[in-house]
Structures are given as C-alpha cells and as structure tokens.
C-alpha cells in the first residue's frame, strides 16, 4: 500500500512539476545543477539564426536582389555617353601592280539623345523590381521563422508528451508489481493483473510511437538549422493579441502583397519601354582622330547627328506593346488575388488562434478536475470503496487530459506565430538581435 500511495503522489503532483503554477508554462522542472548535461541548449532564436545562415532559399532571394540592382545599372548605362577606341586598316587595289593603303585611329563617342524615354522607364522598372525582390526576401524570412517555430514547438510538445507517457508507464509498472503482491495474499484477482498489464503494454506501444514522432520532428528541425541538435530550451515571448480588424488592416502591407504590387508597377513601366518603338531615335556620334591617312588628312574630328524615324516595321512593335499590356494586366490580377488571400489567411489564423486559446483555458480546468478526481479515487481505493479498474480509469483519464493540455499549449504558440506571419508582423531583424 505504501508503494501505491507513492505512485499516486507522483502522478498527482506531476502537473505542478511539468507546468508550474502558470498554465502557459509547459516546462519540466530543472534537475539539480550537478546532473545537468554540459550541452548548450538552443532556443527558438538560436535555431532561427542558424536556419537563416543555412537556408538556400534566403540566399537565392539575396542573389535576386543583386540581379535587380544589375538591371538598374544596365538601364542607367544606356543614358551615359559611350566611348571606345577604334583602329581601321584598309587595303584596296587599283591595278594589277598598284594598291592603296590607308589607316586611321580614333576615339569614338556616342550619346543617345532621344529614344522614346525607354531608358527612364527601364530605370524606374528596375527600381521597382529591386523593391519587389527585397519584399520577397523579407517574406521568405518570415515564412522561414514560422517553419522553424512549428518544428521547435512540435519537438517540445513531443518531448513533454513522452515525459507524461513515461510517468504513466512507471505508475502502471509499479501497480502491476503491487497487484501481484496483493494476489499472493488473496487481496487481488488475477484478472486485475491482466487488465493492468494490458494497459501497460498498450502504453509502451504508444511510447515507441511517440519516440518515433520525436525523432522525425528532431530531424526536421535539424534539416532547417543545418546541424545536429542536442537540446532545445524554451524562451519566453510576450504573446500580445490584437483584434481581428487590426490584423486585417495590415493585409495590404504584408511583404508578399507589397512584392506583387511592385511587380505590377514594374510591368506597367515595361509598357512604356515597348511603346518607345513608335518614337524617333535621335543620337549623336563623334570621332576624334589620333591618326588619319584618308582624305581629308588634316581633319581631327567628325560629328554625326543620327535621326531614325520608324515608318513601317510590320506589326512587331504593336505586338510587343500588346504583350506588355497583357503581362501588366496579369500582374495586376495577381496582386488583387494575393491581397484577398492575405485577408483570408489572417481570418483563418485568427480563428485558429482564438479557438486554441479557448481550448487551452477549458482543458486547464479539465486538468484540475481530473487531478481532483484521481486524488479522490485513490482515497476511496485505500478505503476499499472502489476497485482497481476505477483507479486505472482515473489514471488513464488524467493522462489523456494532460496530454491534450500539452498539445493545446504548444499548438496555441504555433498558431500565434502563424497569425503574425499571416498579418506580416514578424520582424526577423528584431528576433535575431
């Protein structure tokens, strides 16, 4: 009876050890310092920093920004003067025995004076493209944090769940041993032992399944951070919730929505680039001779004003304009659709967050009731008012409620970050400070 009472106390007070006085804590009490492993536990922030350094997608987005910068330099280069050095050697035959030899060396200067303003449209388009790529990179960092936080909290959840199952396994094992002692003195039936052993074996199967789940989640987090994982340590964040209209008001400012807007505006500038084909092209070219043997030999420079007026080029330019207009319209539709999807994402995430908080509150009350019920069952068992099956049922009920509570605690944390990501509120730079 003493052993049974010790098991009852262990199970009864486990919620206080596992969660503390705060229902949101979800932490197991720390062992004595002498027994702590000499391993640096990784926090959520640590994992996110490692994932940022490891992610190929983030690196690709950084290169996309460089490509957009290069496009701006290309567009800007078209309005700058072009300078080159040229040398020409000419051989011509006037008869079977005589030939002329001429050569000249010169610096060639060229400058576009007017080309339908396509250079300025190209520069504006490349600036918008850069803003688009920066917004996409920022959004990728937000989504990466959500992936890391999901894996991080799932790992903590499976570890806590595994701890609960092991505690219940200890209770069942000790109870089987005690029932065998009671059977020898005629106070317990063999059916009670078989029933308890059945629940013990079933629980051990659940433990193995949970261990496999813990291993899979650990591998996922290791993949994201790019290194083996020893331990994780939960850090406290301020989970401040706003109203749904406040989150919905931020939908148009979400980085991916902003990226779609910049893409749309960039494509509109490309319409102006295509329309420049209808305008005259005016350029200035000049040569400065360092050596000249052709006539007039005493001329040191030459200047040309070139005016190219398109009269008929088929439907080439017209087709290019129509294509650019269709692409811009397509980008506008994608921008509109993404804005509506952002609103839907925020609404769904807010509902999930709200329901999760309500479930956590209800399960917290259910956990306290299950603890009290179990305590009363143990007291009645000592007075022979209930049988072994009633106590086993109370143990199982307490374990189920506790596991559901653990799941809801970490689910609410995952939903919180998903809500902030849906609203575009996650600030990666602030997190890694």
pLDDT at 93: 64
Q: Are 414 and 149 spatial neighbours (Cβ–Cβ below 8 Å)? A: yes
Q: How far apart (Å, rounded) are the C-alpha atoms in residues 181 and 148?
A: 50
- Say what the pLDDT of residue 352 is: 93
Q: What is the pLDDT of residue 143?
A: 93
**8 A C-beta contact, residue 335 and residue 263:** yes
Q: Which two tokens stand for residue 75?
A: 């567009």
Q: Which residue has the tokens 């979400």?
A: 254
Q: Could you tell me the domains of the chain? A: 2-18+41-91+113-424 (1.20.1600.10)
Predicted local confidence at residue 141, as pLDDT: 93
Strand partners for 99: 93
Euclidean distance between CA atoms 314 and 312, whole angstroms: 6
- Is 11:395 a contact under the CB 8 Å cutoff? yes
> Which two three-digit tokens encode residue 226?
């790019």
Predicted pLDDT at 69 = 85
How confident is the model at residue 20, as a pLDDT?
A: 38
Render pLDDT for 140-171 as a digit per residue (tens, 0 to 9): 999 999 999 999 999 999 999 998 888 888 87
| Distance (Å, whole) CA 383 – CA 385 | 5
Stretches where the chain sits below pLDDT 50 are 1-39
pLDDT attached to residue 95 = 56
Query: In Å, what is the CA distance from 429 to each residue of 105, 204, 232, 426?
Result: 57, 44, 22, 9
Reported for 238-245, long-range contacts at CB under 8 A and 24+ positions apart, including other chains, are: 239/413, 239/416, 241/353, 241/416, 244/346, 244/347, 244/350
Between CA 428 and CA 137 the distance in angstroms is: 11
Cα Rg for the chain, rounded, in angstroms?
37
Length of the chain (residues): 433
- Asked whether the beta carbons of 273 and 74 are under 8 A apart, the reply is no
- What pLDDT is stored for residue 173 in this prediction? 80
pLDDT at 17: 36
Give the span between the Cα atoms of 82 and 285, in whole angstroms: 9
């Amino acid at each position: 009876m003493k052993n049974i009472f010790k098991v009852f106390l262990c199970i009864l007070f486990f919620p206080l050890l596992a969660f503390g006085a705060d229902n949101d804590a979800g932490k197991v009490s720390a062992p004595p310092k002498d027994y702590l492993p000499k391993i640096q536990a990784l926090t959520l922030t640590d994992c996110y920093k490692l994932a940022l350094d490891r992610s190929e997608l983030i690196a690709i987005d950084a290169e996309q920004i460089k490509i957009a910068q290069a496009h701006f330099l290309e567009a800007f280069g078209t309005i700058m003067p072009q300078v080159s050095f040229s040398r020409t050697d000419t051989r011509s035959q006037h008869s079977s025995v005589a030939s002329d030899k001429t050569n000249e060396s010169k610096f060639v200067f060229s400058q576009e004076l007017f080309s339908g303003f396509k250079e300025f449209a190209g520069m504006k388009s490349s600036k918008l493209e850069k803003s688009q790529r920066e917004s996409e990179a920022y959004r990728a960092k937000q989504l990466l944090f959500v992936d890391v936080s999901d894996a991080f909290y799932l790992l903590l959840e499976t570890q806590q769940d595994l701890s609960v199952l092991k505690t219940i396994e200890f209770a069942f094992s000790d109870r089987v041993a005690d029932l065998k002692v009671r059977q020898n003195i005629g106070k317990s039936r063999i059916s009670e032992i078989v029933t308890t052993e059945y629940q013990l074996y079933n629980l051990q199967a659940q433990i193995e399944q949970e261990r496999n789940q813990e291993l899979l989640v650990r591998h996922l987090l290791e993949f994201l951070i790019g290194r083996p994982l020893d331990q994780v340590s939960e850090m406290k964040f301020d989970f401040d919730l706003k109203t749904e209209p406040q989150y919905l008001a931020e939908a148009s400012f979400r980085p991916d929505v902003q990226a779609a807007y910049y893409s749309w505006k960039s494509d509109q500038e490309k319409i102006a680039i295509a329309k420049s084909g209808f305008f005259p092209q005016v350029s200035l070219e000049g040569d400065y001779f360092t050596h000249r043997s052709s006539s007039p030999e005493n001329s040191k420079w030459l200047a040309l004003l070139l005016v190219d007026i398109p009269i008929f080029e088929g439907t080439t330019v017209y087709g290019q304009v129509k294509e650019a207009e269709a692409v811009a319209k397509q980008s506008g539709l994608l921008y509109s659709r993404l804005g509506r999807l952002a609103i839907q994402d925020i609404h769904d995430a807010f509902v999930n967050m709200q329901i999760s908080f309500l479930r956590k509150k209800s399960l917290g009350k259910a956990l306290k009731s299950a603890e009290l019920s179990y305590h009363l069952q143990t007291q009645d068992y000592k007075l022979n008012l209930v049988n072994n099956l009633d106590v086993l049922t109370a143990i199982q009920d307490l374990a189920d409620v506790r596991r559901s509570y653990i799941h809801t605690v970490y689910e609410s944390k995952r939903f919180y970050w998903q809500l902030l990501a849906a609203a575009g509120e996650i600030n990666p730079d602030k997190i890694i400070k």
